[in-house]
Amino acid sequence: MTSTILFSAGESSGDQHAANMFLEIKKHQPDINAIGMGGAKMAQAGVDIRYDSAGIGVIGVVEVLKHYGDIRRALTLMKRIIDTERPDLLVCVDYKEFNFKLATYAKQQGIKVLFYVSPQVWAWRAGRVKAYGKVIDMMAVIFPFEIPYYEAENVPVRYVGHPSVDKVHPQYTKAEDMARFGLDANRRVVGLLAGSRANEIKRLLPVMLAAAALLKAKFADCQFVLPQADSISDDLLAEYLTDAPVQVTVIKQQPYDVMQCCDAIMTTSGTATLEIALLTVPMVICYKLSPLTYWLGRLLVKTKFIGLPNIVAGKSIVREFIQHEATAENLAAEIERILTDEAYCVAMRENLAEVKQRLGQGGGSKNMALLALEML
């Protein structure tokens, strides 16, 4: 009988990871069925999407409360699928709190659970490892330093490699991209990566645009580019770019080609920081949350850094500006330093190359596929 996998992905990065994983699974077992919660990438890969997660990929206490009804409906639907369709395996991709609840329910119903992308147990209470250990059959981690946390509590764990290592490859050379995007090769290029969630765009794009205006006043030759995330609508960007103080070239569906054109990038915290690191492009990281979420985070989070390149390196190699420090002046000053201080820029590139080396050879999607088939 054909096996069925139930996927649960709540954010755009999880949608991509799940899609890549399922495409790899189909190479080994073409007749396999996949259903679940996710987005456009999973649908393209052949997953039967029962709940579109586009509206519930939010971060922060206040944001989650605003979308609580939708999130609860999604959880109820996914539980019903477990009851009525009895999948052979539940694959939870990131989206931690939701997937913890779903995994708990699946385990109670006797369904095997594979969790992909570990909760950041090194940043939160290590006691969460025990809690996850009770509701999963296997934790697939994407950073090598995460393994000891699970082994210490005898939780089954497998390092599968970081998915970004495989996918962060521009399609063209930098010279070709500069021409394709209409950028002047003799002028500086600064990237604005304001996030893949609507609330990130609302909080951070205005700050980045104000920083861009300060940079333009100092460096008349500056060009600004913005790779538009699939999850962000044209209308939302237009709200901020139509009357922006600088001209910004928006480019869709080619993030790595855009990144490689940049001399420096302002980016929100998240997977993008690691993708930029893999291309060894100097950057500054910023993030803003609602005041309540930020206050709770300060109480709960135990890590020195929020930027993944710094976490992987185990030291500060990229400046981070969080909450009240995420100002146009701070971002502009750091980008100016990257553009003008050659020794500083070279040192940052070397440190980013070391991060790339630490992440290893990749093969994450293929390793995940083999792990899922092994569990089936």
| Span 289-308, pLDDT tens digits | 766 666 666 666 666 788 88
CA angle at 365 for the pair 360 and 165, rounded to the nearest 5°: 35
Please give the biggest Cα pair distance in the chain. 66
Whether residues 212 and 332 fall in one domain? yes
Nearest to 116 by CA among 268, 258, 6, 266: 6
Residues 191 and 333 in one domain: yes
Say if 228 falls within a structural domain: yes
pLDDT above 90 for 138:
yes
Mean pLDDT of 36-54: 94
Q: Is residue 105 part of a domain?
A: yes
Give the strands of the sheet with 48-52, arranged side by side. 48-52, 33-38, 4-9, 89-93, 112-116, 138-141, 157-159
Domains in the chain, number: 2
Residues 180 and 249 in one domain: yes
145 DSSP assignment: G
Give residue 132's pLDDT band: very low, low, confident or very high (50, 70, 90): very high
Instruction: Give residue 49's pLDDT.
Output: 97
Residues of the domain holding 78: 4-162+362-375
**What is the per-residue pLDDT for 362?**
83
Nearest-angstrom CA–CA distance, 219 and 256: 25
Q: Considering the chain, what is the average pLDDT of its residues?
A: 91
Q: Are residues 190 and 327 in the same domain?
A: yes
Same domain, 124 and 206: no
The CA R_g of the chain, rounded to the nearest whole Å, is 21
User: Which is nearest to 266 in space by CA: 202, 184, 195, 168?
Assistant: 195
Q: How far is Cα 276 from Cα 166, in angstroms, rounded to an integer?
A: 13
- pLDDT for 123 beyond 60: no
Residue 367 CA: distances (Å) to CA of 22, 115, 248, 298:
11, 13, 39, 35
The reported pLDDT for the residue numbered 297 is 66
Nearest to 284 by CA among 262, 259, 265: 265
Q: Is residue 167 part of a domain?
A: no
169 is a domain residue: no
Structure-token pair, residue 368: 């995940």
Cβ proximity of 206 and 286 under 8 Å:
no
Q: Is the domain of 27 the same as that of 102?
A: yes
Phi, psi of 226, rounded to the nearest 5 degrees: -135, 110
> In the prediction, which pLDDT does 163 show?
83
Domain presence at residue 227: yes
Within-domain flag for 91:
yes
Domain of 79: which CATH number? 3.40.50.2000
Q: What is the mean pLDDT of residues 95-109?
A: 94
Do residues 150 and 270 both lie within one domain? Answer: no
Cβ atoms of 47 and 35 within 8 Å: the answer is yes
Q: Are residues 68 and 147 in the same domain?
A: yes
> Quick one: 39 and 122 in the same domain?
yes
* Cα separation values, 206 from 174, 200, 201, 288, Å: 28, 10, 8, 12
Give a yes or no: residue 168 inside a domain: no
282 and 308: one domain? yes
| pLDDT-above-70 percentage for the chain | 92
pLDDT at 197: 84
- Tokens representing residue 98 in the block: 């939701």
Residues 121, 180, single domain; the answer is no
Please tell me the distance from the alpha carbon of residue 204 to that of residue 4, in angstroms, as a whole number.
40
The answer to whether residues 227 and 113 belong to one domain is no
Decide if pLDDT at 126 tops 60.
yes
What is the side-by-side strand order in the sheet with 248-252? 248-252, 223-228, 189-193, 264-268, 283-287, 320-322
pLDDT at 28 over 80: yes
